[in-house]
Amino acid sequence: MKKLIAITLVLAALVLTLASCGAINKNEVAVLWSDLSDDYLFTISDALDRAMYIDNIKYKHYDAKNDSAEQLNQAKAAIAAGAPALIVNPTDVLTATAILDEAKGAGIPLVFLCSKFAAEVAQLAGGYDKCITVNTDASNLYKTLGEKIAEDLLEKYDDYDRNNDGKITYTAFGLSSSAVPFINEKLTAAGKKELDGSVWTSVLPTTNVGATINQIFGDYDGSGNEVNATPTELILTDDDAYVEEILVALRAYELNYKKLVTHFIPLYTVGVAANAADLIDSTNEDERAAYSVMSAIDDGFLSGAALEDDDAIALAAAHIVRNSIKGKPLFDKINEAYIKDGDIIVPYTFYGN
């Protein structure tokens, strides 16, 4: 995932400034990140800035830069300085265990946030009643995506069936093909044929994705007429970098590019950010990195995406801290649907037109 747009960064800086004024806590909550050079964690940290401001919490980010010893030292120093709570994205399970022991010894709340080791960390958290894990729930990801795609296809089926053969041909990259059974279930229930298509593995090098699109569209002249209908009528992907390459390749065929050109291939993805075709020629890398999946959908380049709900994740973490500082039940004002076995699991959401 890519970093958010520049204006968001400016707002985040403003949030940091305002959060220190009239906060509900005297000492700073310590937010410990495993490695903020990771684009995904940067995006989550940005969402957490907004959430902590909303809950009026004073806090400070710490970046361990993937150094386990450094992260443990940061936790110890924060506790020694009187931190009322810790929010931790752990570098590894051993470090998570050590930080849990430190927090438990100090009697302060600990939130494990978006850990790669979700199951292991959740098991650790069970040993301390002030420790909560907050993660995303990917179990419904492709069901969410597939059912929404099916709804879209059924609404405009005749438009999407470009060659009028009564079925829709698809191309899927990576695990996005997991959405196909959910699409087919709704299509067949509505009396339509199942999708027909091909799957390209997720190990396909990003640089080869454009070549794959060119291979598929090699004989397509961009006219969109029935004689030369598009060789695929639906594209699915689960990789932000793939989205960029796909959009660039489709430009050559006047697809998903110019708003005044009507030819459009339904394109769905999973993720948070992707560059879009009209920015690819930019030499400004920050500008290119700023173009999110939501922006691309709003501008009509993509059909939709299953997205992690970063703001809901961040707000849940902030609410736990706020509740602990104010002496309220830890799960106060947290969506009950997110609470599972004493932890918080936030499902994916769908964003589309």
Q: How far is CA 300 from the centre of its chain?
A: 20
Q: Would 135 be classed as within a structural domain?
A: no
Q: Would 180 be classed as within a structural domain?
A: yes
Rounded mean pLDDT, 65-83:
98
Q: Would 332 be classed as within a structural domain?
A: yes
Give the residue, 193 or 140, on which the prediction is more confident: 193
Give the residue, 307 or 279, on which the prediction is more confident: 307
Rounded mean pLDDT, 9-25:
55
pLDDT digit string (tens) for 76-91? 999 999 999 999 999 9
Least confident span in 33-47, 112-126, 267-281: 267-281
Residues 21 and 70 grouped into a single domain: yes
Residues 277 and 224 grouped into a single domain: yes
Total domains in the fold of the chain: 2
Residues 81 and 172 grouped into a single domain: no
**pLDDT score recorded for residue 20:** 46
Residues 93 and 192 grouped into a single domain: no
Confidence grade of residue 181 (pLDDT, cut at 50, 70, 90): very high
pLDDT digit string (tens) for 112-156? 999 988 889 999 888 899 999 999 888 888 998 999 999 999 999
Strand partners, 62: 32
Confidence grade of residue 6 (pLDDT, cut at 50, 70, 90): very low
Residues 196 and 228 grouped into a single domain: yes
Q: Would 330 be classed as within a structural domain?
A: yes
Rounded mean pLDDT, 284-304:
70
Residues 114 and 175 grouped into a single domain: no
Helices (H), the chain: 6-19, 39-54, 68-80, 93-106, 118-125, 141-155, 157-160, 180-189, 206-216, 240-251, 285-289, 293-298, 310-325
Residues 313 and 240 grouped into a single domain: no
Q: Would 136 be classed as within a structural domain?
A: no
Least confident span in 70-84, 195-209, 339-353: 195-209
Helices (H) and strands (E) in the chain, counts: 13, 13
* Separation of alpha carbons 321 and 85, rounded Å: 7
Q: At 9, phi and psi to the nearest 5?
A: -65, -40
- Rank 67-71, 176-180, 206-210, 297-301 by mean pLDDT and report only the highest: 67-71
For the cut 80, the answer to whether the pLDDT of residue 41 exceeds it is yes
Residues 103 and 221 grouped into a single domain: no
What whole-number percentage of the chain has pLDDT above 90? 50
Q: Who's near 89: CB < 8 A, 6+ residues apart?
A: 32, 33, 34, 41, 44, 112, 113, 114, 115
**pLDDT score recorded for residue 149:** 95
Parent domain of 25 = 6-129+309-348
Helices (H), 38-132: 39-54, 68-80, 93-106, 118-125
Rounded mean pLDDT, 208-233:
81
**What are the CA-CA distances from residue 63 to residues 4, 18, 39, 45, 249 (Å)?**
19, 21, 13, 11, 38
For the cut 50, the answer to whether the pLDDT of residue 40 exceeds it is yes
Domain with residue 259: its CATH number is: 3.40.50.2300
Rounded mean pLDDT, 36-42:
88
For the cut 60, the answer to whether the pLDDT of residue 287 exceeds it is no
* Separation of alpha carbons 128 and 171, rounded Å: 47
**pLDDT score recorded for residue 206:** 73
Q: Would 182 be classed as within a structural domain?
A: yes
Residues 196 and 289 grouped into a single domain: yes
For the cut 90, the answer to whether the pLDDT of residue 318 exceeds it is yes
Residues 259 and 340 grouped into a single domain: no
Q: Would 209 be classed as within a structural domain?
A: yes
Residues 279 and 169 grouped into a single domain: yes
Q: Give rounded-to-5 percent helix, strand, coil for the chain.
A: 45, 15, 40
User: Which residue in this structure is represented by tokens 């970046």?
Assistant: 63
Structure-block tokens of residue 259: 């708003």
Q: Would 353 be classed as within a structural domain?
A: no
- Rank 13-22, 51-60, 116-125 by mean pLDDT and report only the highest: 51-60
Residues 81 and 156 grouped into a single domain: no
Confidence grade of residue 17 (pLDDT, cut at 50, 70, 90): very low
For the cut 70, the answer to whether the pLDDT of residue 188 exceeds it is yes
